Chains A and B, each alone.
Chain A
Amino acid sequence: MSEVKLRRYHAAKWDEPFIMEQTVPGTRGLLPPLSPDEVVNAVGSADALIPAGIKRKAAPKLPELDQYHVLQHWLRLSQETMGMDLASDIGEGTCTMKYSPKLHDQMANHTKLADVHPNQPVEDIQGVLEIIYNLEQYLKEVSGMYKISFQPGGGSHATYTNACTVREYHRAHGNLDKKDIVITTIFSHPCDGATPATAGFKVATLMPDESGYPDLNALKALVEEYGERIAGIMFTNPEDTGIYNPDVAEYVELVHSVGGLCFYDQANANGILGIARAFDAGFDACHFNLHKTFSAPHGCEGPASGAYCVRQELADFIPTPTVEKGEDGYYLDYNRPKSLGKVRSYIGNPECMLKAYAWIRTMGPDGLKMTAETSVLNNNYLDKLLQQIKGVTRPYKDGFRFEQVRYSMDELTQATGVGTDDIRSRLVDFGIQSYWMSHHPFIVPEPFTPEPCETYSKEDLDYWAAAMRQSIEEAWEDPQFTMGAPYAQPIGRMMDTSIVDDESKWACTWQAYKRKNNK
């Protein structure tokens, strides 16, 4: 590794009160003119148009501020975050945090897309439909599949759509009363187990063998003992560990042998893009996160889109409508009598589709392949650097990993008490996003999972590894110091997080919070 100089950095800190506390009664940002009398006389008051049942009894308790102070408030808060494109996202493994071209934002903001209403007649939105239609053709080529639904509004939503498709398929074949088990693996994304459970299946999870592959013998035993009941399998490859399972065809064959369907979670396809296809590996369905692999931004930085791809045998069951091309142009096809119905309104998130479309057009077929090659190369370079750090281990088999790696810091923790939680709190002092540890449950103790996408240069990788090395070396020398980190951030340690373990206390909304806590 070339000599890396760690940057001096300190985040902004504002002692910013809650916006509710900044209210100045009577202040307004905008005062729209009242409707002229002729208009009111002609159509009546707007108030009368709202059904009585949904009218609120009291005005909402909104803060009263002018625009300048609202803007100032949010800008200050935004300065206290790491922001997008500001700090390296190399640590966000399994999230495929790649650069989202700003040009695509401009396109997506274009009035011809941004101002379109989904109920607009199809004649008006032929251009949008053409883009969606073409995107489908490209992704069919990339996956090998026959038909795609863009309706799911995210990756987990696409896996849920698959679980429902599996259900409808078995229902149509009269097997649903028997087939109640869906198999997944512990190192797949948790949605591959959670969504079939939501769709009504029992979920059986395979554990890793010594190499880190899902235990094939366990699958054989399951198929032998519960074959009749197996509805399908849903898993990733490579898994969270970055280990690619070369025997995946055998898993598929086993599940097929008892009439189960095989779903390949390709939310993150950066390891295999343009190189391997789910269809060729025998899978019945797969999905892509357009907001990851295909460059639409991921992680609360924009809406999401899970492109759900199926073989011909499953095409009858996917959600409606789909975009089709007819003699008179593009149209929305609702004619799918066995469809599972809708999983979301309308046709999905067109801005994500546009960004994915633009990205594919920019990259071209060779570019897609180069994406996978570069991310795998990046990852294995970073891997070399990280494996030299004392206290970092890489569980399971030797050899290369694909686009990400799950490491362990257990050695460091056992010796010093400093855990992965502490190290990630220190890492942010170098102007790097706090890394992601692992999905639950933690199979690998004290885990961390970097994923250096194709976006990153060698210098970026060197910098990330150097910051990790520095953070970990400090921990060996002075554990207390690391446990006190971060020092360059507006907020120190996360507050007591035990509340999330107590379902009687936590809440997703302010109202629910007040109710649960008797406030």
Chain B
Amino acid sequence: MKQLGLIVNPMAGIGGKVGLKGSDGEEIRKLAFSLGAKQEAPDKVIRALKRMAEAGHDVHIITCPGKMGEDEAKAAGYDPEIIDGIATEITSADDTKKAAEILMERGVDLLMFAGGDGTARDVCSVIGTDIPAVGIPAGVKIHSGVYGASPIHAGEAADMYLFGGGSMQLREMEVMDIDEDEFRKDRVSARLYGYMKVPFERRLLQSAKAGSSMSERATIQSIASDVISNMQPDEYYFIGPGSTTRGIMEMLDLPATLLGVDVVKNRQLIKADANESDLLGLLRGEAEGKTHVIVTVIGGQGYIFGRGNQQFSAEVLQLAGYKNITVIATESKMIGLDGKPLLVDTGDEQVNQDLCGYRMVITAQGKRMVYKVSC
């Protein structure tokens, strides 16, 4: 029988309705409850599980005690197996991580979790891309692409992944989070924390509204071959983080740093995981006047600079030259932006301004999308 792991962060979302922009941290939760917040995550989880139950497939749910999964699974009509060693009352990030660890060891076919960006981060820190996962959106902040468009969609995606006879692909989606303290002060500072493998069917994932006639993988390869065919001898290519840019490294048969910047010259890796000062060093030295910056777009948000690739600082970009920036992204990622512009936030107002306007984004071999950039 197929096994589904389930982790619910019952606190997810309580900050939102009372205007707290997140629910991480003990203090905030107390404040939220005193403001009259109610737990909404359990309801959302029940909706997702009921969608699965309606489909009528036999699935064995393994989950945490109490509100962290047991109650919801039972409410949806399942008879779940409960894992040991997880607190039943107050739940914390540690509980989430521990549960993820246990469920991964149990070899579940899919891990379903409910929460927001914080929960996704916690789960990701344990499972990475080792096992497939799907999120039920229940948090205040959802910047990560790992969540279903709605709880019902998450339930449907899980069911189709487990029982659809291979009708779903897995694709790597970003796990993003912003610093809640900063966010409460109306400053956004988001980071890319990693990737998870998420079952993907065109219409079921958040912001994956674009249909595409080419598979994600083939599109990324097509982009990579466009970029590579335009590479010039003796020039330096700063390849930014992400799974789209990784396609270039794979095609060149080079190891890629998923969350970092790699430097390539003459199809060889010059420097792996370069930091800002490495890049500045190159730009002021051997790479002066012959550097290209290749970046992709953060799915759902549209950031090309300032989120997840802070190595590309204002200074790096100025030295490299704005004309030498190449943006690559699949068409479905671009369309998932829902018409919102691409964003830059380098920390330098002038540089941000200079980068605004329109840019040709490479979406496949020979294909460009003319897209607006704002700051």
B370 in contact (CB, < 8 A): yes
Report whether B215 and A221 are in contact in the complex, using a CB–CB cutoff of 8 Å.
no
Within 8 A of A (CB), among B199-216: 202-203, 209-215
Report whether A496 and B165 are in contact in the complex, using a CB–CB cutoff of 8 Å.
yes
Question: What's the tally of chain A residues with a CB closer than 8 Å to chain B?
Answer: 44
Contact partner of A413 (CB less than 8 A), chosen from B164, B166, B167, B203, is B203
Taking CB as reference atom, which chain B residue is nearest A219?
A: B370
Cβ–Cβ < 8 Å partners of B54 in chain A = 480
Within 8 A of A (CB), among B154-178: 156, 164-169
A197 in contact (CB, < 8 A): yes
Report whether A496 and B167 are in contact in the complex, using a CB–CB cutoff of 8 Å.
yes
Within 8 A of B (CB), among A399-430: 410, 413-414, 416-417, 419, 421
Report whether B367 and A218 are in contact in the complex, using a CB–CB cutoff of 8 Å.
no
- A496 CA to B335 CA in the complex, in Å? 25
Report whether B213 and A440 are in contact in the complex, using a CB–CB cutoff of 8 Å.
yes
Closest approach, in angstroms, between the C-beta of B278 and any C-beta of chain A? Answer: 31
Cβ–Cβ < 8 Å partners of A96 in chain B = none
Cβ–Cβ < 8 Å partners of A225 in chain B = 358
Report whether A205 and B367 are in contact in the complex, using a CB–CB cutoff of 8 Å.
yes
A518 in contact (CB, < 8 A): no
- A445 CA to B168 CA in the complex, in Å? 19
Within 8 A of A (CB), among B138-155: 149-150, 152-153
Cβ–Cβ < 8 Å partners of A416 in chain B = 152
- A151 CA to B214 CA in the complex, in Å? 30
Cβ–Cβ < 8 Å partners of A410 in chain B = 209
Cβ–Cβ < 8 Å partners of B51 in chain A = 417
Interface membership of chain B positions 361-375, coded 1 if the CB is closer than 8 angstroms to chain A and 0 otherwise: 001001111111000
Within 8 A of A (CB), among B303-329: none
B77 in contact (CB, < 8 A): no
Contact partner of B370 (CB less than 8 A), chosen from A218, A413, A421, A438, is A218
Within 8 A of B (CB), among A360-410: 410
A85 in contact (CB, < 8 A): no
Contact A445-B166, Cβ < 8 Å, known A197-B367, A202-B366, A215-B372: no
Taking CB as reference atom, which chain B residue is nearest A226?
A: B360
Cβ–Cβ < 8 Å partners of A417 in chain B = 51, 150, 152-153, 156
Contact partner of B210 (CB less than 8 A), chosen from A197, A206, A442, A503, is A442
Cβ–Cβ < 8 Å partners of B213 in chain A = 440, 500
Report whether B357 and A221 are in contact in the complex, using a CB–CB cutoff of 8 Å.
yes
Cβ–Cβ < 8 Å partners of A497 in chain B = 167
Report whether A197 and B167 are in contact in the complex, using a CB–CB cutoff of 8 Å.
no
A446 in contact (CB, < 8 A): yes
Report whether A446 and B203 are in contact in the complex, using a CB–CB cutoff of 8 Å.
yes
B233 in contact (CB, < 8 A): no
- A394 CA to B332 CA in the complex, in Å? 21
- A55 CA to B371 CA in the complex, in Å? 55
Within 8 A of A (CB), among B34-54: 51, 54
- A445 CA to B214 CA in the complex, in Å? 18
Cβ–Cβ < 8 Å partners of A248 in chain B = none
Cβ–Cβ < 8 Å partners of B367 in chain A = 193, 197, 202-203, 205
Contact partner of A502 (CB less than 8 A), chosen from B153, B215, B369, B372, is B215
Report whether A498 and B370 are in contact in the complex, using a CB–CB cutoff of 8 Å.
no
Report whether A414 and B370 are in contact in the complex, using a CB–CB cutoff of 8 Å.
no
B285 in contact (CB, < 8 A): no
B25 in contact (CB, < 8 A): no
- A382 CA to B103 CA in the complex, in Å? 53
- A419 CA to B165 CA in the complex, in Å? 20
Taking CB as reference atom, which chain A residue is nearest B211?
A: A442
Report whether A205 and B335 are in contact in the complex, using a CB–CB cutoff of 8 Å.
no
B72 in contact (CB, < 8 A): no
Report whether A442 and B209 are in contact in the complex, using a CB–CB cutoff of 8 Å.
yes
A82 in contact (CB, < 8 A): no
Cβ–Cβ < 8 Å partners of A500 in chain B = 213
Closest approach, in angstroms, between the C-beta of B237 and any C-beta of chain A? Answer: 19
Report whether B357 and A202 are in contact in the complex, using a CB–CB cutoff of 8 Å.
no
Taking CB as reference atom, which chain B residue is nearest A420?
A: B203
B218 in contact (CB, < 8 A): yes
Name the residue in A202, A207, A421, A441 with the highest tally of chain B Cβ atoms < 10 Å from its Cβ: A441
A19 in contact (CB, < 8 A): no
Contact partner of A205 (CB less than 8 A), chosen from B152, B211, B214, B368, is B368
A12 in contact (CB, < 8 A): no
Cβ–Cβ < 8 Å partners of A446 in chain B = 203
Taking CB as reference atom, which chain A residue is nearest B362?
A: A202
A204 in contact (CB, < 8 A): yes
B331 in contact (CB, < 8 A): yes
Within 8 A of A (CB), among B338-375: 339, 357-358, 360, 363, 366-372
A222 in contact (CB, < 8 A): yes
Contact A217-B358, Cβ < 8 Å, known A222-B370, A445-B209: yes
- A330 CA to B153 CA in the complex, in Å? 64
Closest approach, in angstroms, between the C-beta of B216 and any C-beta of chain A? Answer: 8
Cβ–Cβ < 8 Å partners of B153 in chain A = 417
Contact A207-B370, Cβ < 8 Å, known A417-B51, A442-B210, A496-B165: yes
Interface membership of chain A positions 199-242, coded 1 if the CB is closer than 8 angstroms to chain B and 0 otherwise: 00111111110100001011101100110000000000000000
Cβ–Cβ < 8 Å partners of A413 in chain B = 203
- A315 CA to B367 CA in the complex, in Å? 29
Interface membership of chain A positions 425-449, coded 1 if the CB is closer than 8 angstroms to chain B and 0 otherwise: 0000000000000101111011000
Contact A205-B167, Cβ < 8 Å, known A441-B335, A442-B335, A445-B209: no
Cβ–Cβ < 8 Å partners of B372 in chain A = 207, 215, 217-218
Cβ–Cβ < 8 Å partners of A37 in chain B = none
Contact partner of A443 (CB less than 8 A), chosen from B166, B167, B210, B215, is B210
Cβ–Cβ < 8 Å partners of A421 in chain B = 203
Closest approach, in angstroms, between the C-beta of A42 and any C-beta of chain B? Answer: 57
Report whether B211 and A440 are in contact in the complex, using a CB–CB cutoff of 8 Å.
yes
Report whether B358 and A205 are in contact in the complex, using a CB–CB cutoff of 8 Å.
no
Taking CB as reference atom, which chain B residue is nearest A500?
A: B213
Closest approach, in angstroms, between the C-beta of A497 and any C-beta of chain B? Answer: 7
Report whether B371 and A207 are in contact in the complex, using a CB–CB cutoff of 8 Å.
yes
Report whether B150 and A414 are in contact in the complex, using a CB–CB cutoff of 8 Å.
yes
Q: Can you spell out 30 A-B residue pairs with CB atoms less than 8 angstroms apart? A: A186-B369, A201-B366, A202-B366, A202-B368, A203-B366, A204-B368, A207-B369, A215-B370, A217-B358, A217-B372, A218-B370, A218-B372, A219-B370, A221-B357, A221-B370, A222-B370, A410-B209, A416-B152, A421-B203, A440-B211, A440-B213, A441-B211, A441-B212, A442-B202, A446-B203, A480-B54, A497-B167, A498-B167, A498-B169, A501-B169
Given contacts A205-B363, A442-B209, A501-B214, 20 further A-B contacts (CB under 8 A): A183-B370, A186-B369, A201-B366, A203-B366, A204-B360, A204-B368, A207-B339, A207-B371, A215-B372, A218-B370, A218-B371, A218-B372, A221-B357, A222-B358, A226-B360, A413-B203, A417-B156, A442-B335, A445-B209, A496-B165
Q: Which 9 A-B pairs have the closest CB atoms?
A: A221-B358, A442-B211, A501-B215, A445-B209, A441-B210, A204-B368, A218-B370, A417-B152, A498-B167
